[in-house]
A and B are shown apart, each in its own frame.
Chain A
């Protein structure tokens, strides 16, 4: 297999609750995958596993050919900061850093801060003039655009977005999503987006539906 993200027969339980019951999935660079499912279907859990934030009970996850199961905490952290861009529903900006600092943040962690790319992202995401502000002074849409810039500034190969527009009104959400898709397409990275909205999912190239811990075709929902 040559796909960038390979998830093979993964299971995960929270306590006695089986959340994922044997999920397999492959995602290559340039692909944009929408993962849909109801609340509690396990889509966020799958997302966290793919982001090396959590480890599966069984099965294997490979990112760029590297098996996450073989890595310790530091190794998983290295994968996160080097290869993955994360966009959260709650934005998760660092409140004590300015917009510019937040955008550059992960790139600096990963040791490949590129001021020109950051500046370009600021411009593309319509954040010009806001660089010196702190997150609390921004609207939700602006905050999420900062988060997207941060997720792209270190040129990740895999972008994971967990309900990126969940905290935004519909118009803002659409605009933000459009920007995200456009930028990801330009970078050629793989994108996996978790959403409960089939309307948004429809805008991505590939769709999978998660139901009671198993994957199926979106139409099976």
Chain B
């Protein structure tokens, strides 16, 4: 019986393959976008976990030099000779143009087992080769495939090594990095019992395990962004699925009634319906997973670039398949389909056997339902407002967005109905009146698709406004901030001194850049020493400042802080800020510092030198007449002998910064386009299915003397009008969305607030895009109408009684 019922339900799809494709496509697209984003997130997270677990950072404590520099080798040996189980690591980055490689040089003879270093032995590694020059580098296949600096020792490929990282013997690392002192010491968990605690035995700083997994925290916001996008896409997909399932239900309403009249128990019918839904969801879910994997694989390099550029987090550019990810994606699809199908199932359960057997216009939402929706929209709008005003965290920021978008979507049918009623009142001529009235009558059937369109458009406007604002502000800021023509890095203090002497007659100003790590308002950050120079006074934009801020800074009577520190530390101008033991200065100004997630403060050079005498300047900003910058850079390389990458000019930094920036938003841009595409598909689905049901409404108009061609054009027009009206509502929603992103989410996630800029040209482009999408969506049903045989229309009358 169940089989007969199921076969009968499924026979519907054989007769209406287009609907089946739509339903499957909707579910598959929703799954694809959602699972694609999840795949990206999962890949990135596993990369962080690998990085965090590198050398057992998550389990092993470390000893580091208090000044953040290397640990003197003698100090390491002294600890070993006192019996402490510590193991040295020399780490550093090899760089050559775009090629970067992080080296971890381990001493495998003393490394604790938890360090998770390479498993040698028995795998054909020549151990003598590993321990003696030129040594051997171990890296993952992905790292080996990427661009690598030249002149590396032989490479052995091993899985399980974080991306962008090579493990090697400490001697090899020392040779490649030119550094003899360990970067830090790993501390074995079990220390000999008779020894004094390490903290007493050494002046080195003991860093507990897992203390610098800052990358995960920093990138959280980025992944939250992606997840939010994924959910939005999934929601848009659900609108399609909901529409398709609802339609499939309505079209089979009569069949179901007949089935019941002929003696099919309700429970069996519901079961058959549920099974059908589950089968379709699994089918579409699998297709969606494949598609999602493809999307993720295509976007992954961009994401990896973003994470590397913006946060310094190394993530593999490739994608690995994780069955848990697939299962989660499939579960989400089933849940989504269940959610979308629940209403249809409920209506099936309540379906009276004896109601008139004619197909009703489907999903005819009552006025009451419309009012309920509008009321819910009002509540959500109020919630969004409240969250925006009184919320204060990333989560409330995203909750604001969710309330805003959902509220706008729910308000859409009511607002469209109102607009159409107003338009009808102003319409002249019977045809226009009919068109508006008829469109209004169609709203319930189209509203889901239009909501999806609204969401996609609003998200598009919001994100592009944010990105545009970010870009504009960032560019202006870069111009101001990178005022010096050249930036130099000396390898050591001696070279720095010779450099300064050499430059004295050749540059207008040689401004040292010195930095020390410090805990600022409870956060790990950096203090910079800055010379008092017109370069900074004239170019550095201060967001807020006390009178004479630069003078007080120069006098050593004040400190400048970046916007991030100012906001996170909840500081106020004039408030004293502790920078180091014995150094507390009032905050006299705040500067914007885009692209940097860390807390930062600036003091004048003499104050810095007095507080951190051990930090010597090896980096310098040079002021020279701009037309001489290139010549001086060449001279620095050729005459003075600085390595090529130790001289960087302003333009290079700007280009690099911009690249980072563009990478950052390439991913969101791609998702944006995809979401819009999904919305267009939703519209196409709804219009196609409505077309069949609307024949009874169109046939009389045709009979009364309108050509099919004219009717088809009117169908196109109707679609365009609805899209335009939706866009009109999406615009303010998108702008509010942008505002929330800039003023709430950004501040919480990154610590800076950006002034919002408007880009009307982008809106026009998007409007055109939306109208084209609407035209395309309406084209197929309109074409069918245009070509429809008159007998088909006549049948309407024959069937109607």
Contact = CB atoms under 8 A, between A and B. Distances in A.
A42 interface: no
B11 A106 contact: no
B262 A109 contact: yes
A88 B354 CA distance: 12
Nearest to A85: B262
A95 B547 CA distance: 83
Contacts of A68: none
B264 A109 contact: yes
A79 B265 CA distance: 10
Contacts of B11: 94, 96-97, 101
B266 A90 contact: no
A80 B262 CA distance: 6
A190 to B, nearest CB: 17
A79 B263 contact: yes
Contact of B265 (A53, A78, A84, A134): A78
Interface string B247-273: 000001011011111111111000000
B693 interface: no
Contacts of A101: 11
A78 B254 CA distance: 20
Nearest to B14: A96
Contacts of A81: 262-264
A77 B266 CA distance: 8
A134 B262 contact: no
Interface in B253-301: 254-255, 257-267
Given A77-B264, A95-B255, A106-B262, A54 B354 contact: yes
Interface in B416-466: none
A5 B267 CA distance: 27
A108 interface: yes
Given A53-B353, A96-B11, A109 B261 contact: no
Given A54-B354, A74-B267, A109 B1 contact: yes
B262 A86 contact: yes
A109 B263 CA distance: 8
A80 B264 CA distance: 8
A111 interface: yes
Nearest to A113: B4
B261 A51 contact: yes
A73 interface: yes
A92 B261 CA distance: 10
A84 B353 CA distance: 16
Interface string A90-108: 1011111100010001101
B5 interface: yes
Contacts of B354: 48, 53-54
B765 interface: no
A134 B15 CA distance: 10
A82 interface: yes
Interface string B653-684: 00000000000000000000000000000000
B359 to A, nearest CB: 10
B262 A111 contact: no
A97 B8 contact: yes
A93 B16 CA distance: 17
Contact of B258 (A77, A79, A94, A111): A94
B262 A105 contact: yes
A202 B264 CA distance: 34
A90 B15 CA distance: 21
Contacts of B265: 73-74, 77-78
Nearest to B262: A106
A110 interface: yes
Interface in A50-72: 51, 53-54
A53 B261 contact: yes
Contacts of A54: 353-354
- The secondary-structure label for the interface of chain B is helix
B263 A106 contact: yes
Nearest to B13: A96
A184 to B, nearest CB: 18
Interface string B154-177: 000000000000000000000000
B728 interface: no
A120 to B, nearest CB: 20
Nearest to A107: B4
A94 to B, nearest CB: 5
A51 to B, nearest CB: 7
B258 A92 contact: yes
Contact of A73 (B15, B252, B257, B266): B266
B261 A86 contact: yes
Interface in A94-136: 94-97, 101, 105-106, 108-111, 134
B255 A96 contact: yes
B102 interface: no
A110 B14 CA distance: 24
Contacts of B504: none
Interface in A18-55: 48, 51, 53-54
B17 to A, nearest CB: 11
Contacts of B15: 95-96, 134
Nearest to B260: A77
B357 interface: yes
Nearest to A80: B263
A184 B565 CA distance: 91
Nearest to A86: B261
B205 interface: no
Nearest to B3: A108
A202 B266 CA distance: 38
A47 B793 CA distance: 34
Contacts of A86: 261-262
A78 B357 contact: no
Contacts of A96: 8, 11-12, 14-16, 252, 255
Contacts of A80: 261-263
A22 to B, nearest CB: 21
Contact of B263 (A88, A90, A92, A110): A110
Contacts of A90: 357
A82 B262 CA distance: 9
Interface string A134-147: 10000000000000
Interface string B351-362: 001100100000
Contact of B5 (A82, A88, A95, A109): A109
Interface in B1-40: 1, 4-5, 8, 11-12, 14-16
B731 to A, nearest CB: 43
A78 B5 CA distance: 14
Given A105-B4, A111-B1, A134-B15, A92 B254 contact: yes
Nearest to A94: B255
Contacts of A106: 262-263
A74 B255 CA distance: 18
A62 B456 CA distance: 59
**Which has the most chain A C-beta neighbours within 10 Å: B261, B264, B353, B357?**
B261
A135 to B, nearest CB: 11
A53 B354 CA distance: 7
A62 B555 CA distance: 106
Nearest to B356: A90
Given A54-B354, A92-B357, A78 B258 contact: no
Nearest to B359: A95
B642 to A, nearest CB: 79
A155 B39 CA distance: 58
Considering the complex of A and B, which 5 residue pairs feature the smallest CB-CB distances, nearest first? A81-B263, A80-B263, A77-B265, A96-B11, A74-B265
16 contacts: A53-B261, A53-B353, A73-B265, A73-B266, A74-B266, A78-B265, A80-B262, A92-B254, A92-B257, A96-B8, A96-B11, A96-B14, A105-B8, A105-B262, A109-B4, A109-B259
Given A74-B265, A94-B255, 5 more contacts: A73-B267, A82-B263, A88-B357, A96-B255, A150-B262
Interface of B: 1, 4-5, 8, 11-12, 14-16, 252, 254-255, 257-267, 353-354, 357
Interface of A: 48, 51, 53-54, 73-74, 77-82, 84, 86, 88, 90, 92-97, 101, 105-106, 108-111, 134, 150
